[in-house]
Structure 1
Amino acid sequence: MFNDIGPLELVTLVVLAVLVFGPDKLPKMIQDVTRTIRKIREFSEGAKQDIRNELGPEFKDFEFEDLNPKTFIRKQLDNDDLGLKEIRNGFDLKKEMAEVTDAVHGRDSESSPSSSSSSTSGATGGTVDMTKRPEKAAPDERPPFDADAT
């Protein structure tokens, strides 16, 4: 619960509590706070148990920590039923961004220091040469008709 409080901060809190409440009232205040925390925990555990009973036996392994999005995603990434580890490990964002940047600026990705792979054709997912202009048709030749485009 107090994992992020250092020793100096703890000593400061104790000195501050002695100054604010005084040495006479401090033990009574500590008892009241611990009693309140204990009641809140009992209420929380009772509510969790009631929810589990209402959900039924199909949710017997339900954990309330799974409702935290970070915990849920971490568990799903650790669960390799979907093959997410291969996808996550096979995706190099820096390399992909460098290839896109090189393509936009018209540089060859093979000469780029950030890219270590050889250039592949556009059909296989490689870089696209943005500086290359499309071939122009002859002036008397009509473009192909596309019924879906009209």
Structure 2
Amino acid sequence: MFSDVGVLELATLVVLALVLYGPDKLPEAIRTVSAVVRKFREFSENAKQEVRDGLGPEFEDFEFEDLNPRTFVRKHVLDGDGAGLEEIRKALDPRPELDEAVGALRRAAEGGTAPGSRSGADAVSLVKGEDGPAAGRPPVDPDAT
């Protein structure tokens, strides 16, 4: 519960409690605080048990810690049950499709035909200077206006 409280903070709390309550009332204050914490834990456990009972027998192994999003992801995605993290990364990785497209462009630039490309007289060269428009004049598209 107090795993992140250091020694200096704990010593400061003890000194502050001694100053506020004094050495004669401090044990009674500690007993009161511990009783409140105990009652709060008991109340929360009873509430959890009532929710489990209300859900029915099919949720006997239900844990409230599983409702935490981090725990849910760790349990269902990272454990290997169903689709693992590696499969998700492979499914979302765009590199195979990009490599295929770059390969098709390279083949077309080298003179080979890419899938779905034009062949013969309709083929367009990707090499600069070959069969291009006259130097200095851009191509005119009469349908553009």
Using the size of structure 1 for normalisation, the TM-score is: 0.60
Q: 2:60 aligns to what?
A: 60
Structure 1 residues 92, 55: closer, same or farther in 2, change over 3 A?
closer
Give structure 1 stretches of 5+ with no counterpart. 100-118, 125-131, 143-150
Distance in 2 of aligned mates of 1:89 and 1:140: 48
Distance in 2 of aligned mates of 1:2 and 1:91: 42
Identity %: 47
Q: Does 1:16 align with 2:20?
A: no
- CA deviations 1:31-75 (Å, max 9, x no partner) are 000001111111111111111111101101100011111211221
Structure 1 residues 91, 9: closer, same or farther in 2, change over 3 A?
farther
Higher CA-based Rg: 2
The letter of the residue matching 2:37 is: I
Structure 1 residues 122, 30: closer, same or farther in 2, change over 3 A?
same
The letter of the residue matching 1:40 is: F
Structure 1 residues 3, 91: closer, same or farther in 2, change over 3 A?
farther
Using the size of structure 2 for normalisation, the TM-score is: 0.62
- Spell out the pairing of 1:65-84 with structure 2 (5 A cutoff): 65-84=65-84
In the TM superposition, residue 18 of structure 1 has moved relative to its aligned partner by: 0.4
Structure 1 residues 140, 121: closer, same or farther in 2, change over 3 A?
farther
- Spell out the pairing of 1:1-150 with structure 2 (5 A cutoff): 1-87=1-87, 90=90, 120-122=99-101, 139=141
The letter of the residue matching 2:101 is: G
The letter of the residue matching 1:49 is: Q
Structure 1 residues 137, 54: closer, same or farther in 2, change over 3 A?
farther
Count of residues in Structure 1 that have an aligned counterpart in Structure 2? 110
More moved, 40-49 vs 79-88: 79-88
Q: What is the aligned-residue RMSD (CA, Å)?
A: 3.5
